[in-house]
Structure 1
Amino acid sequence: MIKRIFLVLILVFSCIVSAQSNDLIKTDGIKTELHKNNIGKITFMNGNIPLDQYKESDFLKSFELKRKSDLNIRVFMDNSVTNYLHKLNPDLTAEKLLQTGNLQFSFYIDNNFIYKENINYGCNFGSSGNKNTSTTFRVPLTSSKGEDWWAMYMWDRFKLNGGEKVLTEGTHKLKIEIRPYLKNDNNDVTTGELIAKGEIQLIIKTPRLTAKQIEIQPIATNSDWELSNFSFDKKKIEKLNNDIANYSLKEITSVVVIYDKKLLLEEYFNDANRNTLHDTRSAGKSFASTLMGIAIKDGHIKNENQTLNNFYNLKEFTNYEAKKDSVKIRDLLTMSSAFDGSDQDGDSPGNEENMYPTDNWVKFTLDLPMDNSKTNGGKWDYFTAGTILLGDIINKSVPDGLEKYADKMLFKPLNITNYQWQYTPQKVANTAGSLQMTSLDYAKYAQLYKNKGIWKGQQIIPADWIQKTLTHQIQIPERENQFYGFLFWNKTFTFNDKNYESYYCAGNGGNEFIIFNDLPLVIIITSKAYNKPYAHAQADKIVLDYILPSIIKQ
């Protein structure tokens, strides 16, 4: 009997050793009864309850999902993410595993599959979890506290890809499943076994709106605009206000419509008002183009075909080659220089996220290598750092620097007095974006282009510069029938089987200043849907489903 017990103990011990030896990294283990009793479960909680305070009585069975809520999940696993990935490919190092894989989330509503996402390898779990060693982690799906998590963007994508459509008023069962995944060199995905799953009843209530939230907002006096008496379909705009108020359209802060040079609509939402300075992010890039055109008109810069070697001794910077000398102002205005920089590629040396932490953004840009696959002026590739060079060239070329020049030559003639620049580390006005203004002042700027550069009889921007700016300078890759001018975008809206071409300034969050070619129409949309996948689609929807139908007689 003793011999048999001894053999059993040896067998059990060998199994434990064998299981441990299959792991690549020693984990933190399972240290609490709560964890031990809930291995393989996704639990839901209201807000972030610290692990050492978390109890089973905190596990939510139901939750009322509101516009601003704090639905969090805490996941209890029996191993770490790295070790799960190791099982999918035992030949890879921990570093390589975490560069090619992570977790896959699957979402179900009322037992129907809705959405699946392989989260990016760079998605981490903050202080609540280390992918090498942690066996539990917490992430928020929604937050009212200004948190900024990949999980919240994933939740937005789930809603955008069918979740919102099925989460109608009433009660719905949400189920989430988590598995590990790995990509190989051909981007083929291998998915592992189920790690954890959980479910909760979501209670959805449609907000009850007041008549005041829906009605068209009266235009107050002293707008600095002549008011329009154009007859438009008010019901379409009331529907717009309704959908913004009930959050079908999210984070919209203002909609301003100028028709035939007169103020037709001035609507504010989500705590914004006429005096709010909106952070429209990259929409501010277009001002670099404007100021370049004015500086050329005034003779401070010869023309847009001047090359960088006219302004910098490029041999003083890293990665010098003759190709850098031949970069034209035009190439930077059209996002088509040959610098090895792309904001669309997170691994690009010149990606804007690599620029911001540096102490000199001009030096960062001029130090970049050139991309052997690009020719100057050859292909469009969004490159924020290039707009910093444009701002620096203007700043060193005009009297008293860019900021004072802009105020004197552009803002004062438009009677724009309430605005706020951001600055580079060298205290130069930042032409990469985030020039904050009121919605009515953005409308003046956009209408100035519609007026071919004239404001109250004064030619502020040269007409030929407006023509060059609002021209198909270069095709935007992978966007059918969309082009780029001089730091202005181009797209065509199709409404009632008729095309309406527009040029527009655009910034993260769904901010757009839209100038129509063949309609006497300018539209300003400001929004704080920063980094949201629906941001610019929402702006298009506002134009196509509400504003154009309200104006164009059918």
Structure 2
Amino acid sequence: MNHFILISWLTIISSSHIYAQTENIVRTEGITSGLHRDNIGKIFFTSKHIPLSHLKKGDFANTYKLTNKSDLYFVAFMGNSITNYLHRIAPALPADSLVKIGNYQFAFFVDGKLIYTTNLYPGAPYAKIQDSATVINKPLINNDNGYGLWSESSWNRFMHYGGDSALTEGSHTLKMEIRPYLKMDEVKPGELIAAGELNLVVERKPVIDISKIRLGRVKAYNGFEVANDDFDKNRIKELKGNIAEGVFKKINSIIVIKNGKLLIEEYFNGETRNTLHNPRSVGKSFASTITGIAIHEKYLQSEDQKLAEFYNLHSYKNYSLQKENETLEDLLTMSAVFDGNDADGKSPGNEENMYPTGDWVKFTLDLPIKKDTINKGWHYFTAGVVLLGDILNKRVPGGLEKYANEKLFKPLGITNYKWQYTPQKVPNTAGGIQMNALDFAKYGQLYKNEGKWNGEQLIPKEWVNKTFTKHRHISGRNNEYYGYLFWNKTFLVKNKTFEAFYCAGNGGNHIVIFKDQPLVIVVTASAYGQSYAHPQVNRIITEYILPAVVR
């Protein structure tokens, strides 16, 4: 009898092993350690990143204090890779197809109640990792880095869609579940991969004693006298306190110019008035500025010039007559017919596909057209601004870098700045030009002055007016528009509206020029890749700066 049972048991084990082999579609890294083997299907939480090779059971938190400065990591021990889990949902699909339409699904619960479920975008992590990884060791909150990893984005979405209001001050239970999902005709989740709970003590509402906070001493700067206007200093102290306590994260500077004079100057997180800051896509607006100057000086005819005047489009892939008829204005208003959309990870012209290539201009001109954009609908297209920079570099005397210095930066008294460059060593108009916050403020004030600085008309007034025109409605946003590489929106403060045109860049970087107020506001920040970056700057402006300086 015992012999029969043993043979039967070995047969079952062998059959299961064979089934597991045929079930998997890709090879994984397997079970990585004894800790992994003992905890398959479980999620644990830690207060810092600990490499898997150093991770011990004693590192896992049972109770954790969650403040605005807390870091929170999770470790999920899985029995297989996400690609193989997706294969179980759709066995007929190959691995490279599965990772294009599926990924992890994270579900967040607070006190036993499901608050938010997020389906992570396909492609993050990379397909190679999706095929092999059987452990996830990633941050949900990381206040030190500036990358905004996919795992952090999932937490930020949870907080935005209910987590922030659910995690009130006091004790809570946080639960996290991970499943695979595929999106074909509809989202189809798979089996539970891993789950875990953590007791949280939430302390996210700091007590701020403004009597202990001092405002920065404002000093004159080349181009700016010190303003004598009164403002609500206590409200700005409260803002400083919230930045110090981590309510607003990764803010580096706040500059307020009123009536052309320096009113508020504050720095955070180690930056000073001499720090060169990378504002990312704020730099796109400079391409618009130089275009206007070049047209005025007849190096370009007008923004109506067509691409066919600058390139032999027959020598590039996906030739079409629509490409021939694209204009500089189409590039300036983010409405070109190219199949490029930075908001769509699957778009062939997404900027992330451009950067690894050796020739960004060729990358752009090789793109196919997208039929639904022929009607000039707005879509954020960084590669188009690179194309504009290349055209400027070829047409202005001495090249774009020299021309911008002579016609813009030198007259503004901006001497300490750094361009980034394309692979062809052309200044990168996609963004990234580095200056200090006060020099960014000069640029904003130049537009507030309708293009004039120290009595000299640097930018034609007509071009400033064209730039500050609502050329395109921004799809998916209410009452927001796009000019010539400048954004437009209206801030609302206690039922009063404040319209502004502004430059914006990843991380929460803004140069805001108000239409009906004598104000320019600069915020530099380094919350790169973080979904909270721009919303928190909107709060800073509407809840603190505007109420403090507008009477």
Verify the 8 A CA contact 1:469 1:488 in the aligned structure 2. Answer: yes
| 496-505 or 485-494, larger mean C-alpha shift | 496-505
CA RMSD of aligned residues (A): 2.6
1:461 & 1:29 partners in 2: Cα distance? Answer: 62
1:120, distance to aligned residue in structure 2 (A): 2.0
The 8 Å contact of residues 219 and 265 in structure 1, kept in 2 or not, is answered as: yes
Distance in 2, matches of 1:371 and 1:379, equals: 11
AA aligned opposite 2:105: Q
Identify the residue that residue 493 of structure 1 maps to in structure 2: 491
After TM superposition, give the deviation of residue 243 of structure 1 in Å.
1.5
Q: Partners in 1 of 2:531 and 2:146 — Cα distance? A: 17
For 1:145 and 1:10, the matched residues in 2 are separated by: 52
Aligned to 2:191: 193
Aligned partner of residue 116 in structure 1, secondary structure: strand
Deviation at 1:468, TM superposition (A): 0.7
Partner of 1:104: 105
Deviations 1:362-407 (A, max 9, x none): 22222222233333x7221111111112112211111111111111
| Matched residue, 2:469 | 471
User: 2:332·2:385 contact (CA, 8 Å) conserved in 1?
Assistant: yes
Measured at CA, do residues 503 and 145 of structure 1 come closer, stay the same or move farther in structure 2, by a change above 3 Å? closer
TM-score, structure 2 as length reference: 0.92
Question: Is the aligned partner of 1:369 residue 2:368?
Answer: yes
Q: Which residue of 2 aligns with 1:277?
A: 276
2:383 partner letter: A
Structure 1: unaligned runs, 5 residues or longer: none
**Structure 2 counterpart of 1:89:** 90
- Greater shift, 53-62 or 294-303, is seen at 53-62
| Within-5 A mapping of 1:433-472 | 433-472=431-470
Deviations 1:99-157 (A, max 9, x none): 2222222222333433221222222389xx94445443322223366374311222222
CA distances 1:20-54 after superposition (whole Å, capped 9, x unpaired): 36723465554644333222211223444343443
Alignment correspondent of 1:181: 181
- For 2:52 and 2:94, how far apart are their aligned partners in 1? 30
Residue 388 of structure 1 contacts residue 432 of structure 1 at CA under 8 Å; is this kept in 2? yes
Measured in 2, the distance between the counterparts of 1:406 and 1:470 equals 21
Moved more, 48-57 or 403-412: 48-57
Cα contact 1:317–1:366 (8 A) shared by 2:
yes
Separation of aligned partners in 1, 2:506 and 2:306: 30
- Alignment partner of 1:388 out of 377, 386, 389: 386
Specify whether residues 468 and 150 from structure 1 end up closer, same or farther in structure 2 by C-alpha distance, changes over 3 A only.
Answer: same
CA distance in 1, matches of 2:373, 2:122: 28
Matches of residues 57-456 of structure 1 in structure 2 within 5 Å? 57-65=58-66, 71-124=72-125, 130-143=129-142, 146=145, 148=147, 149-168=149-168, 170-184=170-184, 186=185, 188-205=186-203, 214-222=213-221, 224-375=223-374, 378-456=376-454
In the superposition, relative to structure 1, how do residues 370 and 121 fare at CA in structure 2: closer, same or farther (>3 Å)?
closer
Deviations, residues 422-465 of structure 1 (Å, cap 9, x unaligned): 11111111111111111111111111111111111111111111
Q: Deviation of residue 466 (structure 1)?
A: 0.9
Distance 1:153 1:18, change over 3 A: same
Corresponding residue to 1:523 among 521, 524, 532? 521
Following the alignment from structure 1 to structure 2, what is the Cα–Cα distance between the partners of residues 338 and 31?
48
> What is the alpha-carbon distance in structure 1 between the residues aligned to residue 59 and residue 373 of structure 2?
56
Return closer, same or farther for 1:371/1:111 CA change in 2, 3 Å cut-off.
Answer: closer
Distance 1:51 1:382, change over 3 A: closer
SS of match in other structure, 1:432: coil
- Indicate conservation of the 8 Å contact 1:68/1:142, yes or no: no
Equivalent residue in structure 2 for 1:532, among 500, 513, 530? 530
- Percent of counterpart pairs with the same letter? 49
| SS in structure 2 at match of 1:514 | strand
Cα distance in structure 1, aligned partners of 2:328 and 2:307:
7
Q: 1:507-544 CA deviation, whole Å, 9 max, x = no partner?
A: 11111111111111111111111111111111211221
- Give the counterpart letter for 1:151 in structure 2: S
Alpha-carbon distance in structure 2 between the residues aligned to 1:371 and 1:214: 54
1:546 positional shift: 1.1
SS of corresponding position for 1:44: strand
CA separation of 1:550 and 1:89: change in aligned 2, threshold 3 A: same
For the 8 Å contact 1:277–1:419, the answer to whether it is kept is yes
CA offset at residue 7 of structure 1? 6.4
What is the DSSP-based 3-state SS (H/G/I as helix, E as strand, rest coil) of the residue aligned with 2:23?
Answer: coil
> Structure 1 residues 30, 397: CA separation in 2 closer, same or farther (over 3 Å shift)?
closer
Q: Using a 3 Å threshold, how does the CA distance of structure 1 residues 51 and 214 change in structure 2: closer, same or farther?
A: same
Question: Structure 2: 5+ residue runs without aligned partners?
Answer: none
Call closer, same or farther: CA 1:473–1:133 in 2, change over 3 Å. Answer: closer
Please tell me whether the aligned partners of residues 44 and 60 of structure 1 are also in contact (alpha carbons under 8 angstroms).
yes
Structure 1 residue identity aligned to 2:155: W
Secondary structure of 2:141 counterpart: coil
State how far apart, in whole Å, the 1-side matches of 2:402 and 2:212 are: 41
Q: 2:55 is matched by which residue type in structure 1? A: Y
SS in 1 for 2:373: coil
166 and 28 in structure 1: CA distance in 2 versus 1, 3 angstrom threshold: same
TM normalised by structure 1 equals: 0.91
Closer/same/farther in 2, CA of residues 30 and 417 from structure 1, 3 Å limit: closer
- One-letter amino acid matched to 1:373: D
Offset at residue 495 of structure 1 (A): 2.6
Pair 1:468–1:21, CA change in 2 (3 A): same
Does the 8 A contact of 1:125 with 1:138 survive in 2? no
* 1:447–1:515 contact (8 Å) kept in structure 2: yes
1:264 partner amino acid: L
Count residues with an aligned counterpart: 548
Shift, 1:476, TM fit = 1.6
Residues 422 and 21 (structure 1), Cα distance of their counterparts in 2 relative to 1, 3 Å cut: closer
Q: Deviations over 1:284-319 (max 9, x none)?
A: 111111111111111211111111222222222222
- Is the alpha carbon distance of 1:276 and 1:208 closer, same or farther for their aligned partners in structure 2, counting shifts above 3 Å? farther
Deviation of 1:82 after TM superposition, in Å, equals 3.0
* Distance of aligned partners of 1:4 and 1:24 in 2 relative to their CA distance in 1, 3 Å threshold: same
Q: Deviations over 1:483-525 (max 9, x none)?
A: 1111111111223323322111111111111111111111111
For residues 382 and 484 of structure 1, the distance between their equivalents in structure 2, rounded to whole angstroms, comes to 10
What amino acid is the match of 2:248?
L
Partner amino acid, structure 1, of 2:268: F
> Once structures 1 and 2 are overlaid, which stretch shifts more, 301-310 or 168-177?
168-177
Which AA in structure 2 matches 1:95? Answer: D
